[in-house]
């Protein structure tokens, strides 16, 4: 019904399976994944405008200054950020855009796009989260402890999200995420044009024009 795209922001605990979820969701359904800008060098096979927009430090900083980024952060000496123009173009074209970013960035997006849909991905419980982190086998117990400490902080931001998506069964999680986004198109706040059109039609009819 609504023609404008929905901007969905996906965050969640490290180990909640966000990456796997995003891959499965994009494989099955037609979403635009937002492309980030970065100052780090492209790795072999990475293409400008596909994996990232690769920018010089000067260019990135001038984007910060001219407020062309929805959110940005510096990480291990490099900038990473979400260009506003790309997201706006996709939304205007009616495409549903997904951003996978961490919590501080997500809250920043909500400030700039109040209509954004914020989804928080979580395992069914913390024992499961811990065993997923341990199961990766790539991280020391110290790193795992750090991630759990971080999760503890992140949990306090769950209430600022719109929906909690429990990732227990992957397929189910893909379907739930998809349905939540599909339904968002029916929200009153996404249908102001439709309401205006209906109101105008009724008014015209009342005045005997139809």
Interacting residues with a copy of itself (CB under 8 A): 1, 120, 122, 125-127, 130, 148-149, 151-152, 155-156, 158-159, 161-166, 176, 179-180, 182-183, 186-188, 191-192, 194-195, 197-199, 201-203, 205-206, 210
Q: How far apart are CA 125 and CA 167, in angstroms?
A: 10
Q: How far is the CB of 52 from a copy of itself (least distance, A)?
A: 31
Q: How far apart are CA 150 and CA 152, in angstroms?
A: 5
Interhelix angle 141-155/126-135, nearest 10 degrees: 150
64 vs 197, beta carbon nearer a copy of itself: 197
Q: How far is the CB of 86 from a copy of itself (least distance, A)?
A: 28
Q: How far apart are CA 30 and CA 23, in angstroms?
A: 12
Token reading at 6: 């929905």
26 vs 148, beta carbon nearer a copy of itself: 148
73 vs 126, beta carbon nearer a copy of itself: 126
Q: How far is the CB of 143 from a copy of itself (least distance, A)?
A: 15
55 vs 181, beta carbon nearer a copy of itself: 181
Token reading at 4: 């404008």
User: How many angstroms separate the Cα of 46 from the Cα of each of 26, 33, 49, 53, 167?
Assistant: 19, 16, 9, 10, 29
Q: How far is the CB of 46 from a copy of itself (least distance, A)?
A: 35
DSSP annotation of 37: E
């Amino acid at each position: 019904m609504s023609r404008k795209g929905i901007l969905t922001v996906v965050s969640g605990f490290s180990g909640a399976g966000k990456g796997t979820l995003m891959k499965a969701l994009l494989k099955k359904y037609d979403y635009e994944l937002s492309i980030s800008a970065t100052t780090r060098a492209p790795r072999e096979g990475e293409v400008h405008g596909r994996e990232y927009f690769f920018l010089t430090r000067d260019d990135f900083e001038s984007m910060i200054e001219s407020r062309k980024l929805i959110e940005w952060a510096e990480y291990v000496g490099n900038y990473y950020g979400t260009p506003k123009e790309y997201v706006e173009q996709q939304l205007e074209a009616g495409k549903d855009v997904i951003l996978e970013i961490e919590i501080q960035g997500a809250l920043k997006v909500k400030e700039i796009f109040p209509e954004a849909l914020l989804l928080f991905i979580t395992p069914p419980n913390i024992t499961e989260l811990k065993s997923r982190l341990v199961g990766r086998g790539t991280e020391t117990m110290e790193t795992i402890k750090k991630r759990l400490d971080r999760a503890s902080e992140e949990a306090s931001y769950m209430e600022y999200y719109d929906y909690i998506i429990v990732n227990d069964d992957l397929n189910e999680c893909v379907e739930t995420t998809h349905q939540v986004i599909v339904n968002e198109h029916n929200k009153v706040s996404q249908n102001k044009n439709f309401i205006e059109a209906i109101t105008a039609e009724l008014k015209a009819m009342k005045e005997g024009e139809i």
